[in-house]
Structure 1
Amino acid sequence: LNLYVTQTVEVQSPETQKTLAEMQTKNAALQEQLAVQRQLLRELETQLHESQRTCAQLRTQILVYEGEMERAQGQLEAEMQNLEEEKNRVIEEAFIRAESEMKAVHENLAGVRMNLLTLQPALRTLTCDYNCLKRQVQDFPFMLDKAIAEAKQEICQVISEVSSANQELLRKYKREMNLRKKCHNELVRLKGNIRVFCRVRPVSQEEQDSAEAKNMLSFDSEDDAVLYLSNKGKIMTFELDKVFPPQATQEEVFQEVQALVTSCIDGFNVCIFAYGQTGSGKTYTMEGVAEDPGINQRALRLLFSEVTEKAPDWDYKITVSMVEIYNETLRNLLGDNPSEKLDIKMNPDGSGQLYVPGLTEFTVQSPEDINRVFDLGHMNRATACTNLNEHSSRSHALLIITVAGFNSATGHRTQGKLNLVDLAGSERIAKSGAEGSRLREAQCINKSLSALGDVINALRSKHSHVPFRNSRLTYLLQDSLSGDSKTLMMVQVSPLASNMSESVCSLKFAQRVRTIELGSSSSYRRHENSSTSSSPTHDSVEVTQFTHTHTHTHTLIIPVEKAQMHRF
C-alpha cells in the first residue's frame, strides 16, 4: 500500500518558498520512513514464515500508519491551500502599493516638468543678468577711478567751503568774545574800579540780652546804597555802592560779587577783601560755614562752572595758594612748614615782576579739592583770643586764585588772578584790651591797615609815588590796587551802640576808598605764537606788576580734618 503524492507548486513569495521547503523536508522524512518500512516489510516477509503472530501485528501497524499518512496528506493539502491564498493576497496588496507609488511618481514627475518649464525663463533672465554684471565688472576699475576723482573734487570743494565758513565763524567768534569782554569791562568800569559794599551783621542772642543791644544803624528803603548811623544825637549818612542789611543771605551777597569774580577768567586781576573790626562778620562773609559757604567757596564753584561752559574751546587751569600775614611776617598756609617765613622779591628774570619764593600752590579741579585746601589753610592759620571776640583771627588771610586759560581755536592765552582777603580786626588797641604778645599783634595789624589807608589816600590823590612797601599786606596786594585791577572792599560793621566808634571809622574809611579811580582795566592776554604779552596800561600811579611764581606746585590729594570756621 505504498502511496506517494508528489505535487509541484510554483511559489514566488519568500514565505511560500519557506513553507514549501519545510513540506519538502517533511516529505523527505516520510520517504525515509517508507524506505525503512519497506526494509522492515522485507524483513517481515522473510520472517513471515517464522511467526504469523508477528505478521498480523505488523499488518495492524501498517494500517495505523496508513491512516496517519492520510491525515498528514490532508493537513498538507490544507496548508498548501492556505499558503496559496496568502500568496495571492500578498501579491494583490503589493500590486496595489506599487500602483499607488507609481501614481505618486507620475505626479511628482509632472510637477518637476512644470517647475522646469517655469524655471527656464528665469534661467534665461539670470544668464542675461550674469552677462551684464560680467561686463560691468570688467568696466568697474574705470568707473571706480572716475567716481574717486569726482568724489575727491567734491570733497576738496566742500573742505574749501567749510574752511571758509570756519574762518568766518572764527572771525565772528573773536569779535563776539572781544565785544563781550569790552561790555563786561565797561560795566565794571561804570560801577567803579574799586567798589565798596557794606554788610551789617545781625545781633546775636547773647547781645540782645545785654544792656548795649541798641541798634544804631538804619537803612533807606528806597536806596540800598545809603546807610544811616545815629551817633551822639546826630544822624550820619554814608553813601556806598551797596548796603546789605542784617537779613541779607550769603547768596544775595555773592550775586553782587560774581561779576568781578568772572573777570579773572578774562585775564584781569581782581581783589575782594573784607574790612572791619573784630567780630563784625568778616570771616563769615568770606568763608561762611559748611552748610552756607561764603564768597571764597562760591567764587571757586562759579569759576568751575564758567570754565566748564567754555570747554572744549578753552582749556583752563585753576591753582590756589593761601598765605597769612601775621606780625608783618608772610607765612605759607599750604606748606609743610607753615611757620617758615616767606619774603616778596623781585623776579631775577628781569621782567620787573614780584614773586614769593617757596609759596606752595595747589591745582584744584573739584569742590572737594577746594574743601581740602581750605581745611589745611585753617589748620595752619594763627588765631588767638581778645576781649572782643574769642575766636577772632589775629592775622590777615589771603586766598590767591590763579586762572590760566588757553584757547585752542585762536591760540590765545589768558591769565587772571583773584585775591580773596580776610583782613584782621581793625579795632583800636585801647578798645581791644590786648596786652603783651597780643598787644604787639594789634600794633602790627594796625600798622598794616594804616599802610593800606596810606595807599588808598595816595591813589585817591594821584600821587606819583604810592607807598606799597610800607607793609607786607599792601606790597602783596599792589597788583590788586593798581590801574589794571578790579577791587571790591566789603566793609563789615556791627549795629551795636558799643561798637559805634569802630563802625564810624570803618565807614569813613570805606567812603575814602570809594572815591579812588584806578584807571582803565586791561587783561593779561597773549597769542600762543607771540613772544610778548600785552602790557597793562597804567594811569599816573607807577607800580610794579606782581605775580607769584612758586617753587612748589602740587595737585591736591591731601586729606585733612575740617577746621572750625568762624562765624559772627
Structure 2
Amino acid sequence: MVPSRRTWNLGATPSLRGLWRVGRAGEPEPGMARPAPASPAARPFPHTGPGRLRTGRGRDSPAGGDEDSSTRSAARPALAQCRALSVDWASPGSPHRLYLTLQQALRDKGCESKSQGAKEEKLLKRQAPAPRRGREAQEAGGTMNVEKTGGRLFGSGRCSSLSGPPGAAPVVRRMVEAMSQLQEEKAQLQEELVALRERLAVCDSDQQATSTQLQNQVEHLKQKLISQAQEVSRLRSELGGTDLEKHRDLLMVENERLRQEMRRCEAELQELRAKPVAPCTGCEHSQESAQLRDKLSQLQLEVAENKGLLSELNLEVQQKTDRLAEVELRLKDCLAEKAQEEERLSRRLRDSHETIASLRAQSPPVKYVMKTVEVESSKTKQALSESQARNQHLQEQVAMQRQVLKEMEHQLQSSHQLAAQLRAQITMYESELERAHGQMLEEMQSLEEDKNRAIEEAFARAQVEMKAVHENLAGVRTNLLTLQPALRTLTNDYNGLKRQVRGFPLLLQEALKSVKAEIGQAIEEVNSNNQELLRKYRRELQLRKKCHNELVRLKGNIRVIARVRPVTKEDGEGPEATNAVTFDPDDDSIIHLLHKGKPVSFELDKVFSPQASQQDVFQEVQALITSCIDGFNVCIFAYGQTGAGKTYTMEGTLENPGINQRALQLLFSEVQEKASDWEYTITVSAAEIYNEVLRDLLGQEPQEKLEIRLCPNGSGQLYVPGLTEFQVQSVEDINKVFEFGHTNRTTEFTNLNEHSSRSHALLIVTVHGVDGSTGLRTTAPSLQGS
C-alpha cells in the first residue's frame, strides 16, 4: 500500500484489498482498525460496498440481481455527499480553488489509470500462453485485478461525480458573496446601532454643556462690561492735563451722555407707544424675558434636531430592514439554485453508476486473464489513499459549514430581535419628546404671561424715569448756560499754560546743568575729605598698634598667672580639706602657701581667687588676641596637676565658656570690623603631645607620629609638616573641628578626675591677613593649649 500525503487519525489505513474483504465478510482483518458503522454519507467509498464484486478462482462475476439494488443504495449516500459538498461550497470559507484543482487532478489521474490499464491489458494478452500458477497465486492475482479494476472504476466515477455543470461555480460564488455580504451588513448594523446610542448620549451631554457654556459666557460678558466701564472711566480721568481740563472734559462727556440718554429714551418711548407688547431694553424683566426667549428658541432647535435625528434613525432602520429582506430573498434564490445543482449532480452520479455497472458486466474475462499476473499499481493505490483523505477532509468541511450556517441563522434572529428593541426604544423616545414638547408649551405660555406682566410694569417705570430724566435734563441745560463763561476763562488759562510749557524744556536743561556742576563739585570735596580721613585713620591705626604692643611688652613677653580653684568633694573632709592657699588683700599678684607648716610667698603677674569668673580671667589675656590680629605670635598654655582646672579654664562649659571660646569670638569680631580694609583667612589645626609623641587629632590616622621642624623661610618659627588644617568662617566651625579632635584625645581615669586628659592638646588658629589698600600681608599663628 502507498501512504497518503496527508496524515489522518484513522488508525491503520487499510488497502483496497482489505476494504474489499471487509465488504465481503463484514469484519476487518486482524491488526486493522474496525471501521465505524457510519451513515452512507460518511463512508469513504460508497460504490465499494458489500455485494458489488465477488472474486473466486475464475468463476466470480457481479452479483446478478443485486446489482441494481446495490447501485441504488450506493446512489443515496453519493447524493448525500454531493449535497453536503454543495453546502460546503456555499459557505463563506469554501475552498473553491481547491475544488477546481482537485477536479482537474482527478481527471488527469483517471486518464492515467485508463492508459495504464490499457498497457496492462496488452501485457497480459502477450503473457496469456504462459502456464498458470497455483491456487494462492490465482487468488492473489484475482484480488489484485479487483483492486486495479476498482481503482480505475473509482477514479472514473470520481471524475464524473466531481465534474459538475459549468454553471455550478458561479452559483457557489454568488452564494458565498451573499453570505459574506449578509455578515458584513449585520456587523455594520450593529456598529450603526452603537453609534446611534453614542450620538444620543452625546446630544444629551452637549445640550447640558451648551446651557452651562451660555451661562458662563453671560457671566463673562457682564464682568468684561464692568471692567471696560472701569477702564473707560480710568482713561477719561487720565486724559486731562490739568484739573480744569479734566473738569471740562467730564462736563462735556456728561452732557453728551445725557443727550444720548434723552434721545434713546425718546426712541424707546415712541417704540413702546407704537408696540405696547414689545419689551423695553433697560429693565431687568425684559432681559430675563429675552434670555427665556433665547432659551426657548434653543430648545425648539434642539427638539427639531432630535426629531431629524430620529427620522434619520428610522430611515436607516427601514433601509437595513429592506436590505435584510433583500438578502433573505437572494439567499432563497441561492438555495433554490443549490437544490437544482444537487439534482444535476445526482443525475450525473446516477449516470456514472450506470456506466460503472456496465463496465462491471464486461469485466469477468479481463479478471480471469489478470488473475495470473501479480502486478500492483502504485499510482492507483496512491490515488485511492489521496481520494480517501480528500473525501474525509470534505466531509469535515461540510460539517463545519453547516455549523457556521446555523450560527449565522442564530445571529440573524438576534439581529431581528435587536431591531425590534430599537424600534421600541425609538417609540419610547418619541413619546418622551411629545411629553417634553407639551411641558415646553406650558412653560412658554407661563413665560409669555410673565413677559406681558413685566412689560406693563416696565412701561410704567419707564414713564416715571422719563419724567425724572426730563427734569434732570432741564437742570443740566441751566448749569451749562452758567458754566459757559467759566469755560471761556478756563480755555484762556489753558492756552497761557500751554505757551509756558513750551519754554519749560529749556529751563529744565539749564537747571540740570547747574545741578550737575554743583553735584560734581560736592563729590570732589567729599573725595578729598575721604582721602584725608583715610590717611589719618591709617596713621592712628599704626599708632594704636604701636602703643598696644609697647604696653604688652612692658607687661612682659612671658607672663605667669595663677588661678586657685575652689575646694571640691574630691579634696575630702576634715582638716585635710583645709585650703592651704591665702591671698594678700592689698596686692593681687602675691599668693601665700603653707609648705611643711611654714608660710611661703610667691609673686606672680596676676592671681585669681576661687571666686573669679571666666570673664575675669579672659579680660586679663584679651590684649593678646589683639596682638595676634596685628601679626604677633601668641601662645597661651595652662599648667598644673591633674584636677587643677586646666581644661575648665581653657575650654569651659557650654553655659560658661573658657579662654578658647572667648578668644575665638573676639578674634572673629575683630576680623569682621576690619573686613572693609583687610581680607582675612583663618585656618584651624589640632595636635596632641602624649608620652613625648606628637599626633594629629584631625588626620585620617591619629596614631601617626609627627615631627616639629623649623620653617625653611628663615623666620625661626616652628611648624609641623603634614598637620591637617581646616579653613573656618565662624566660631561654630571651630567648635565642630575641635569636637572631632576631642574624640581622638587620650583620657584616663584618675583619683582626682574621672575624665582626666592625660596629654597636652594644642588648638592652633592661624590668621592670614592682606591689606586691600597697601597689599601688606601678615601671618599670625595663635597657639592655645591645655
- So what's the TM-score if we normalise by structure 1? 0.52
Q: 1:123 aligns with which of 491, 494, 499?
A: 491
- 1:272 matched to which residue of 2? 636
C-alpha distance after superposition, 1:485-518 (max 9, x if no partner): xxxxxxxxxxxxxxxxxxxxxxxxxxxxxxxxxx
Query: For 1:411 and 1:308, how far apart are their aligned partners in 2?
Result: 18
In the TM superposition, what is the alpha-carbon distance from 1:101 to its structure 2 partner? 9.1
Pairs aligned (count): 328
| SS class of match (2:743) | helix
Aligned residue number for residue 155 of structure 1: 519
How far apart in 2 are the matches of 1:347 and 1:416? 14
Which one has a larger percent strand, Structure 1 or Structure 2? 1
Q: Which digits, 9 at most, give the CA deviation of each residue in 1:117-147, with x for residues without a partner?
A: 221121112112212323445x46xx62x44
How far off is 1:210 after superposition?
6.6
Moved more, 171-180 or 412-421: 412-421
- Partners of 1:402 and 1:319 in 2: how far apart? 5
User: What do the CA deviations read for 1:272-321 (whole angstroms, capped 9, x no partner)?
Assistant: 11112222222221122333222111211222233334444444333221
Offset from partner CA, 1:389-413 (integer Å, 9 cap, x none): 5533332211111223344455544
Give CA deviations for 1:409-467 in whole Å, capped at 9, x if unaligned: 55544332211121xxxxxxxxxxxxxxxxxxxxxxxxxxxxxxxxxxxxxxxxxxxxx
Give the Cα–Cα distance (whole angstroms) in 2 for the partners of residues 282 and 392 of structure 1.
Answer: 10
Aligned to 2:697: 333
Q: Which of 742, 745, 748 is matched with 1:381 structurally?
A: 745
Aligned residue type for 1:297: Q
Q: From the superposition, tell whether residues 107 and 389 of structure 1 become closer, same or farther in structure 2 (CA, over 3 Å).
A: closer
Deviations 1:95-131 (A, max 9, x none): xx99999897666444323211221121112112212
User: Corresponding residue for 1:132?
Assistant: 500
What is the Cα deviation at residue 158 of structure 1?
A: 1.8
* 1:393 lines up with 2:757 in the alignment: yes
Partner amino acid, structure 2, of 1:241: D
Do 1:320 and 1:363's aligned partners in 2 also have CA atoms closer than 8 Å?
yes
**How far off its partner does 1:329 sit?**
2.2
Describe the SS at the equivalent of 2:577. Answer: coil
Q: What is the CA–CA distance in structure 2 between the aligned matches of 1:105 and 1:337, rounded to whole Å?
A: 102
> Which of the numbers 89, 112, 124 marks the counterpart of 2:480?
112
Distance 2:648 2:606 in 1: 18
Relative to its length, the structure with more helix (as a share) is 2
Distance 1:184 1:15 in 2: 105
Rounded Cα–Cα distance in structure 1 between residues aligned with 2:542 and 2:608: 33
Bigger Rg, structure 1 or 2: 2
Partner in structure 2 of residue 287 of structure 1: 651
Secondary structure (helix, strand or coil) at the match of 1:274 reads: coil
Alpha-carbon shift at residue 173 of structure 1 (Å): 0.8
Instruction: State the match for 2:568 in structure 1.
Output: 204
Tell me the equivalent position of 1:368.
Answer: 732
Counterparts of 1:425-440 in structure 2, within 5 Å, are: none
Q: Distance in 2 between matches of 1:153 and 1:100?
A: 66
CA pair 420-16 structure 1, distance change in 2 beyond 3 A: closer
Structure 2 CA distance, aligned partners of 1:273 and 1:15?
110
Q: Which letter maps to 1:117?
A: P
Match of 2:549 in 1: 185
What CA distance in whole angstroms lies between the structure 2 residues aligned with 1:198 and 1:150?
71
1:298–1:168 distance in 2 versus 1, CA, 3 Å: same
Q: Secondary structure at the match of 1:323?
A: strand
Question: Per the alignment, do residues 393 and 100 of structure 1 end up closer, same or farther by CA in structure 2, a change over 3 Å counting?
Answer: closer
1:299 correspondence with 2:667: no
Superposition TM-score, scaled by structure 2 size: 0.38
CA–CA distance in 2 between the matches of 1:259 and 1:249? 18
Residue identity opposite 1:181 in structure 2: K
- Matched with 1:28 is none
Structure 2 partner of 1:246: 610
What is the rounded CA distance, in whole Å, between the counterparts of 1:233 and 1:328 in structure 2? Answer: 36
**Counterparts in 2 of 1:427-506, with a 5 A limit?**
none
Instruction: Tell me the SS of whatever aligns to 1:398.
Output: strand
Structure 2 counterpart of 1:337, which letter? E
Query: Partners in 2 of 1:356 and 1:397 — Cα distance?
Result: 14
Matched, 1:259 2:596: no
Aligned partners of 1:188 and 1:390: how far apart in 2? 38
8 Å Cα contact 2:636-2:784 kept in structure 1: yes
Mean CA deviation greater in 299-308 or 318-327: 299-308
* Cα pair distance change 1:132/1:148, threshold 3 Å: closer
Secondary structure of the equivalent of 2:528? helix
- The Cα shift of 1:264 comes to 0.9
Q: Distance in 1 between matches of 2:689 and 2:546?
A: 35
8 A contact 1:322–1:397 mirrored in 2: yes
- Give structure 2 stretches of 5+ with no counterpart: 1-269, 276-464
Equivalent residue for 2:301?
none
Question: Relative to 1, partners in 2 of residues 1:100 and 1:17: Cα closer, same or farther, differing over 3 Å?
Answer: closer
1:173 is aligned with what amino acid? Y
Shift of the alpha carbon at 1:220? 0.6
Q: Which residue of 2 aligns with 1:321?
A: 685
Q: In 1, are the aligned partners of 2:570 and 2:752 still within 8 Å (CA)?
A: no
Superposed displacement of residue 346, structure 1 = 4.7
Is 2:540 the counterpart of 1:176? Answer: yes
- The answer to whether structure 1 residue 355 and structure 2 residue 696 are counterparts is no
Question: Relative to 1, partners in 2 of residues 1:404 and 1:17: Cα closer, same or farther, differing over 3 Å?
Answer: closer
Q: Is the 8 A contact 2:638 2:785 kept in 1?
A: yes
Counterpart residue type for residue 123 of structure 1: T
CA shift for structure 1 position 244? 1.3
C-alpha distance in 2, partners of 1:17/1:200? 118
3-state SS of the aligned residue for 2:746?
coil
Residue type of the alignment partner of 2:730: S
Q: Which amino acid aligns with 1:331?
A: R
1:47-95 Cα distance to aligned partner (Å, 9 max, x none):
xxxxxxxxxxxxxxxxxxxxxxxxxxxxxxxxxxxxxxxxxxxxxxxxx
Q: Distance in 1 between matches of 2:752 and 2:271?
A: 132
* Contact 1:331/1:339 (8 A) holds in 2: yes
After TM superposition, the structure 1 stretch with the greater mean CA deviation from structure 2, 173-182 or 203-212, is 203-212
- Does the residue aligned with 2:514 lie in a helix, a strand or coil? helix
Distance (whole Å) between structure 1 residues aligned to residue 622 and residue 468 of structure 2: 100
Q: 1:334 is paired with a residue of what secondary structure?
A: coil
- Distance in 2 between residues matched to 1:271 and 1:102, nearest whole Å: 103
> Take 1:203 and 1:17, find their aligned partners in 2: how far apart are those partners?
118
Does the Cα contact within 8 Å between 1:297 and 1:370 map onto a contact in 2? no
| Cα gap change, 1:306 to 1:100, in 2 (>3 Å) | closer
For residues 593 and 687 of structure 2, what CA distance do their matches in structure 1 show? 35
Q: For the residues of structure 1 that align with 2:654 and 2:760, how far apart are their CA atoms?
A: 21
Partners in 2 of 1:318 and 1:305 — Cα distance?
13
